[in-house]
Structure 1
Amino acid sequence: MGAPSGATQIPAILKGDQSPAADSELGSKDYSKLPIAVTLGGGYDDAGTEVIMKAAAGIRPVPWLRSDLAKPAPPLGPEYGKALVARIKVLLAKLEKEGKLSEEMVVWY
């Protein structure tokens, strides 16, 4: 999903839309629970992130998790995905413990 699609789809998901427009078949398509955060991969630069965040502003405050490309990670492949999922889970647990899951802010993982 690029920034233009994200600017349409992410606000719809944050609003609780059960069938947001999609430009791919990726993901579970289970929109029965509202998200606790928005996680963006390393392909989103500052400008793309800003486009999506502006489109979603004021809907529902959640943390926006962005990939810190300066942190070491395994090469692309299964281990890369596992490493990032582990890093994101630790960060979400920390945000929950600190009571920050309902704050709109950018947090790097």
Structure 2
Amino acid sequence: MKIQNAIETKLAEAFEAQILAVENESHKHSVPPNSETHFKVTLVSPDFQGQMKVKRHQAIYQILSDELAGEVHALALHLYTPEEWQATGQAAPDSPNCMGGSKKDPAMAARTAQGDH
């Protein structure tokens, strides 16, 4: 949980978070057990007031640049102002199911099962 903890810490320090949830969704993908490669972030903050979605995402990418340059392969971002969060019914959308990726490639699936991926 080293990478997940780093993501949580950096975002908590950078934003006035009313809600911050970082979920490791790696187990839903073709990666070795205990991987930290796929994350879902739900962040509700008044800091996003007046910002378009792209600006919000760019701010997150900048803060997490080390993680994104390293082992993090996918980062689903759900970023809201408190008012937007209320309008959603206070729930971020579920992440889509993995489309298979290397599961469809027998050679890659074998390497993944052995922890070589």
- Give the shorter-chain TM-score range: 0.3 to 0.5
Which structure: greater helix fraction?
2
Which structure: greater strand fraction?
2
Rg comparison, structure with higher value: 2
Query: Which TM-score applies when normalising by structure 1?
Result: 0.38
Query: Which TM-score applies when normalising by structure 2?
Result: 0.36
